[in-house]
Chains A and B, each alone.
Chain A
Amino acid sequence: MSTIQSIPIANYILLSTVLFCIGVLGVLFRRNAIVIFMSVELMLNAVNLLLVAFSSYWNDPAGQVFVFFVMVVAAAEVAVGLAILVMIYRNTGSTDIDVLNKLKG
């Protein structure tokens, strides 16, 4: 008996919704850009979990391949994002997003 047959899919939907909302809360809540990046990773992982759950539910491997591509995009995003962050720190001396208000009119 496989897990997806014993645990209702609604539980996975609820779990990934809660994780996604925690990520949204982190993006709105914190000022440190690194923690905001981590919250974005949390949101991506919540979506990954739902993709895997439905892939297992519908018996379709395409969902798991999608998760693989999401991980690829997340890795590229983190590499470039952290490079930008290091440059911001070098120029402003902090990673506080409220310091970066030059574009504000």
Chain B
Amino acid sequence: MEKPIIATIEKSVDEAEEIRTIFIQHTIQAKPGQFVMVWVPRLNEKPFAISYLEKDVLGITVAAVGECSRCLYEMKPGEKIGIRGPYGEPYHLQENQEKGCTMIMVGGGYGSASLTLLAEEALAKGMHVKFILGAREKKRLVYVERIKKLIGEENLLITTDDGSAGRKGFVTDALRTLIEQGEKIGKVYTCGPDKMMKAVAELCTAHNIQGEISMERWMKCGFGLCGHCCVDPLGFRVCVEGPVVSFETALQVKELGTYHRMQSSRKEKL
């Protein structure tokens, strides 16, 4: 039944400046890359990537950027919200990978939420994982300790635009270095700002490396009926056929990194 299930907030944990993860008492069968719709009664309902998934607790990471996300950001333990989902196409881990291959996660800002969950799944399957984590500046980096604990400090590469942490530059600079150093790459997964994901997909495609991106578009229903998240020119629904799509598909989406649709459906440049 496509109807919010009311759940209680257990706790919220600061991740970075104006970014928090809220943990919700809610049991859900979901795969990394899928999302949930989170309802703040009588205010709004928005899609969120699942960033933590335990037996009966679900974590979503919220940046206080709009009216609804700020309200969620400020919610206290015991308060109630509605959850629908999970929805969408998850990431596809490469099965039967060649020995010695590395799965590379390339996350920008809190877009790393779904990738952290994917890294956990990859490790559980015995895969080798490296994580390139980027942000504009140090205070916007999320999940650093969590990822270090998961894959070891030596497998986490941090980049910041201003050089306040890790390597100064973009995630694509770190990825290019890995490729040039001859890293045996199985598949690359990326989630973050449009332009960053497009650059990652282009770089990998130029080197014949396969991978997937997780797209973000304005969503209303989340289950493929309203059509609001259909992208140009292929017309597919990001909430059903996505949000995770292959690099090949992503590079055919001409609006990726260029424009997106607002609440009315009007296009706005990125």
Partners in one complex: no
> B residues touching A (Cβ–Cβ < 8 Å)?
none
